């Protein structure tokens, strides 16, 4: 029974509180099909059942399946936001927008130990370490790691240092110490305070505070020089050079030098991609992408709100003072986002909690949003192409599995070879062999055969020669044997192919596919059978058959053209192969050359040649 007619659901709606919370819709079997949050639970849930004419797409279908509802009351909208996010990840409801979980993306961690290490990881542990990320591009993260390594001589070993282990001489310096990549804290050559100061500078760098770090290092360099510590000053100068090169590579996108996040979104029919630009001190530090699917029927404003909420729930980067959004959010969503981001920012010591959410229309900020949106559109297009390829790969996998079941094979046929013949009234007889590996053409292993022993029009003899040359000749050592052989033809072709393979001592499954009714023939089985037109297995067989036919016909036409060229036009006195080719390119065939008027021939080959050709065909 649809939810709008369900009396128990109606009764529950009447008793819902007006406080913030999370609601769950269940279907008749009790499965949660949607999870949502609300500032006012009663008003929000009631809006689904007031007027079905205002609902559309996915929401309208969902409401028709609601048989029960359940609510969880929270003390604030922020708690509702966090709870909704956790429930969606746990339950994966059918009608919720699905967001790609950033847990698969890498993070940068500064460990919580006396001499911290810095490395890349994909797993977060709440152990007091400092985390940065997630980074959607591992390449960008590795460049940052290389930069840190070139500026700061941090340890790369995995030893657990303590004051006692260092004092006892448990560890010895490694190669990094001798090539000045580390200052040797393992043997007490560097104090913990000095090492901690380097870590603080690394944190400033990762937060995008490059200008302040450059000023700090410059002052320290001058201090060392004034104290005649020239080696220490030279070391800092090298660090400054690397840091300045890094700062110069960063794209300046905000002349005002502000910290802000820019969030834009591009949406397709059922997928969307949001891009977040992280701008610190006016420089673009990097970007992050959030992919969403099952988005049909949702507005871009709703999707943008979900993307922003998900990003700030997951990110462990510093929260900026300003957020630029592509669209104005619904008041309730904007208020929730502001409250949550402000609460998260409050946890950062020494930071103001005020957050500005801006939807710029003109100026530099609008230009930034446009650039962010172009990136989102580009990444969405790439994502849809990859999604299409994944769908094709899944269909091919299903087709190979269908063939395995159809032929009762132990495993899907990973390598399939298909044969076809082509000739013209028994002349220029050729055969082709095409090869598909994992359901995809492997053109480097296609082969063509110019048949030598076939007389007249004899497909069985052609099949016999092609199979023998492939499976008993030199090709048998050059190429691996297939898991399945397909021949273009019916009962006769399949049986002759099976007999030839048996005589060669080969036990390779062989089937035939006839063009007229797309019937499939098996060796020594009287009647053929048909697969459904939508069958993935039939699709693969048709691709094989059509590709083998194309390859055979192309080769046959080439041979026939060469033979015709040599036996007709070049038989004319004074006509060489070069002129013959020129005429064929101009007229398209020997027949048209023979029918051409003298004036046409003159325009194509000149007066003398034209007269010779015209006299030959019109004596």
CA distances 321 to 318, 338, 356, Å, are: 10, 11, 6
Global confidence as pTM: 0.57
Please tell me the predicted confidence (pLDDT) of residue 350.
59
Nearest Cα neighbor of 115 from 168, 165, 174 is 165
Q: What is the pLDDT of residues 92-108, one digit of tens each?
A: 898 888 886 545 667 78
Q: What is the pLDDT of residues 124-153, one digit of tens each?
A: 777 788 887 777 666 667 777 887 887 788
Per-residue pLDDT at 3 exceeds 50: no
Q: How confident is the model at residue 535 (pLDDT cuts 50, 70, 90)?
A: confident
Per-residue pLDDT at 380 exceeds 60: yes
Q: Which residues 6+ apart lie within 8 Å of 65 measured at CB?
A: 2, 3, 27, 28, 33
**Cα distance between residue 424 and residue 561, in whole Å:** 12
- Sign of the four-CA dihedral 215, 219, 225, 229: negative
Q: What is the pLDDT of residues 290-312, one digit of tens each?
A: 999 888 878 899 999 999 988 88
Per-residue pLDDT at 466 exceeds 80: yes
Tokens of 566: 């040599």
Q: What is the pLDDT of residues 165-220, one digit of tens each?
A: 888 888 888 888 888 888 888 888 888 888 888 888 888 877 777 777 777 778 88
Question: For residues 339, 343, 349 and 354, what is the CA-based torsion angle, rounded to 10 degrees?
Answer: 10
Q: Which residue has the tokens 């007031």?
A: 50
**Cα distance between residue 468 and residue 587, in whole Å:** 40
φ/ψ of 347, rounded to 5, equals -75, -15
Please tell me the predicted confidence (pLDDT) of residue 368.
87
Q: Bigger pLDDT: 443 or 6?
A: 443
Least confident of 77-81, 454-458, 500-504: 454-458
Q: Which residues 6+ apart lie within 8 Å of 162 measured at CB?
A: 114
Q: Within a 10 A sphere around the Cβ of 195, how many other Cβ atoms?
A: 19
Please tell me the predicted confidence (pLDDT) of residue 564.
59
Per-residue pLDDT at 407 exceeds 90: no
Question: Is the Cβ–Cβ distance between 574 and 612 less than 8 Å?
Answer: yes
Hey, which of 132-141, 363-372, 593-602 has the most confident mean pLDDT?
A: 363-372
Q: Bigger pLDDT: 7 or 11?
A: 11
Question: Is the Cβ–Cβ distance between 37 and 83 less than 8 Å?
Answer: yes
Q: Bigger pLDDT: 508 or 558?
A: 508
The 3-class secondary structure across 359-384, one letter per residue, is CCCCHHHHHHHHHHHHHHHHHHHHHH
Q: How confident is the model at residue 4 (pLDDT cuts 50, 70, 90)?
A: very low
Q: How confident is the model at residue 73 (pLDDT cuts 50, 70, 90)?
A: confident
**Cα distance between residue 63 and residue 40, in whole Å:** 19
Q: Within a 10 A sphere around the Cβ of 348, how many other Cβ atoms?
A: 11
Domains and CATH numbers, the chain: 3-96 (3.40.1440.10), 260-383 (3.30.420), 415-560 (3.30.420.340), 568-617 (1.10.150.20)
Question: Is the Cβ–Cβ distance between 142 and 118 less than 8 Å?
Answer: no
Tell me what the mean pLDDT of segment 549-575 comes to. 74
Per-residue pLDDT at 415 exceeds 90: yes
Please tell me the predicted confidence (pLDDT) of residue 218.
84
Please tell me the predicted confidence (pLDDT) of residue 102.
46
CA triplet 367, 372, 375: central angle to 5 degrees?
Answer: 130
Please tell me the predicted confidence (pLDDT) of residue 419.
92
Pinpoint the alpha helices (H) of 103-170: 138-151, 163-167
Tokens of 135: 């980074």
Nearest Cα neighbor of 94 from 43, 26, 158, 185 is 26
Please tell me the predicted confidence (pLDDT) of residue 327.
92
- DSSP labels for 89-119? HHH--TTSPEE--GGGS-EEEE-SSSS--EE
Nearest Cα neighbor of 334 from 356, 354, 317, 361 is 356
Nearest Cα neighbor of 304 from 274, 268, 346, 343 is 274
Please tell me the predicted confidence (pLDDT) of residue 481.
92
Do β-strands 415-424 and 322-325 pair in parallel, antiparallel, or remain unpaired?
A: unpaired
Element (H, E) at 44: helix 41-46
Q: b/e per residue, 107-134, with b = 16+ CB within 10 A?
A: bbbbbeeebbbbeeeeeeeeeebbbbbb
Question: Is the Cβ–Cβ distance between 271 and 386 less than 8 Å?
Answer: no
Element (H, E) at 459: helix 459-471
Nearest Cα neighbor of 37 from 347, 310, 273 is 310
Tell me what the mean pLDDT of segment 266-280 comes to. 89
Q: What is the pLDDT of residues 13-66, one digit of tens each?
A: 888 888 888 999 988 888 999 999 988 888 888 888 876 666 777 788 888 888
Average pLDDT over the chain reads 82
Q: What is the pLDDT of residues 476-527, one digit of tens each?
A: 888 999 999 999 888 888 888 999 888 888 889 998 888 777 888 888 887 8
Q: How confident is the model at residue 2 (pLDDT cuts 50, 70, 90)?
A: very low
Tokens of 188: 């007490």
Pairs from 531-537 (Cβ < 8 Å, separation ≥ 24): 531/402, 531/406, 535/399, 535/402, 536/395, 536/396, 536/398, 536/399, 536/402, 537/399, 537/400, 537/402, 537/403, 537/406
């Amino acid at each position: 029974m649809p939810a709008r007619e369900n009396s128990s659901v109606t009764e529950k709606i009447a008793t819902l509180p007006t406080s913030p919370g999370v609601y769950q819709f269940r279907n008749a079997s009790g499965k949660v099909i949607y999870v949502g949050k609300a500032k006012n639970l009663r008003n929000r849930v009631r809006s689904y059942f007031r007027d079905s004419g205002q609902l559309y797409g996915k929401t309208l279908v969902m409401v028709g399946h609601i048989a029960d509802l359940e609510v969880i009351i929270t003390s604030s909208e922020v708690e509702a936001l966090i709870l909704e996010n956790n429930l969606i990840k746990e339950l994966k409801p059918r009608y919720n927008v699905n967001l790609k979980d950033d847990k698969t993306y890498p993070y940068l961690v500064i460990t919580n130990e006396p001499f911290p290490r810095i490395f890349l990881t994909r797993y977060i542990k709440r152990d007091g370490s400092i985390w940065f990320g997630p980074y959607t591009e591992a390449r960008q993260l590795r460049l940052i790691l290389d930069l840190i390594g070139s500026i700061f001589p941090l340890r790369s070993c995995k030893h657990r240092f303590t004051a006692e282990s260092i004092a006892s001489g448990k560890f010895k310096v490694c190669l990094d110490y001798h090539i000045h990549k580390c200052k040797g804290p393992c043997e007490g050559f560097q104090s913990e305070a000095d090492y901690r100061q380097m870590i603080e500078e690394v944190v400033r760098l990762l937060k995008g505070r490059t200008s302040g770090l450059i000023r700090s290092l410059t002052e320290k360099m001058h201090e060392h020089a004034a104290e005649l510590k020239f080696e220490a000053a030279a070391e800092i100068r090298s660090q400054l050079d690397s840091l300045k090169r890094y700062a110069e590579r960063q794209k300046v996108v905000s002349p005002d030098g502000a910290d802000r996040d820019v969030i834009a979104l591009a949406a397709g029919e059922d997928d969307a991609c949001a891009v977040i630009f992280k701008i610190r001190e006016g420089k673009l530090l990097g970007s992050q992408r959030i992919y969403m699917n099952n988005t049909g029927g949702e507005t871009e404003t709703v999707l943008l709100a979900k993307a922003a909420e998900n990003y700030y729930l997951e990110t462990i980067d510093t929260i900026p003072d300003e957020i630029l959004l592509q669209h104005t959010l619904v008041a309730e969503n904007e208020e929730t986002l502001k409250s949550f981001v402000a609460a998260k920012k409050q946890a950062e010591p020494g930071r103001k909690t005020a957050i500005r959410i801006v939807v710029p229309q003109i100026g530099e900020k609008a230009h930034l949003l446009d650039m962010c949106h172009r990136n989102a559109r580009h990444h969405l297009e790439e994502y849809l192409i990859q999604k299409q390829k994944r769908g094709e790969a899944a269909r091919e996998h299903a087709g190979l599995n269908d063939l395995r079941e159809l032929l009762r094979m132990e495993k899907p046929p990973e390598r399939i070879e298909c044969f076809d013949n082509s000739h013209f009234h028994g002349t220029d007889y050729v055969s082709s062999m095409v090869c598909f590996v994992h359901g995809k053409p492997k053109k480097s292993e296609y082969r063509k055969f110019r048949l030598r022993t076939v007389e007249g029009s004899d497909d069985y003899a052609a099949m016999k020669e092609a199979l023998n040359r492939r499976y008993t000749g030199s090709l048998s050592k050059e190429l691996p044997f297939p898991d399945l052989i397909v021949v273009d033809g019916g009962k006769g072709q399949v049986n002759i192919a099976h007999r030839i393979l048996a005589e060669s001592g080969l036990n390779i499954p062989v089937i035939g596919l006839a063009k007229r009714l797309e019937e499939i023939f098996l060796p020594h089985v009287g009647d053929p059978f048909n697969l459904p037109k939508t069958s993935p297995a039939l699709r693969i067989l048709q691709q094989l058959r059509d590709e083998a036919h194309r390859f055979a016909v192309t080769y046959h036409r080439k041979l026939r053209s060469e033979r015709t060229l040599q036996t007709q036009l070049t038989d004319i006195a004074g006509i060489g192969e070069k002129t013959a080719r020129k005429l064929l390119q101009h007229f398209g065939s020997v027949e048209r050359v023979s029918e051409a008027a003298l004036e046409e021939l003159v325009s194509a080959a000149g007066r003398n040649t034209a007269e010779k050709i015209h006299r030959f065909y019109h004596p």
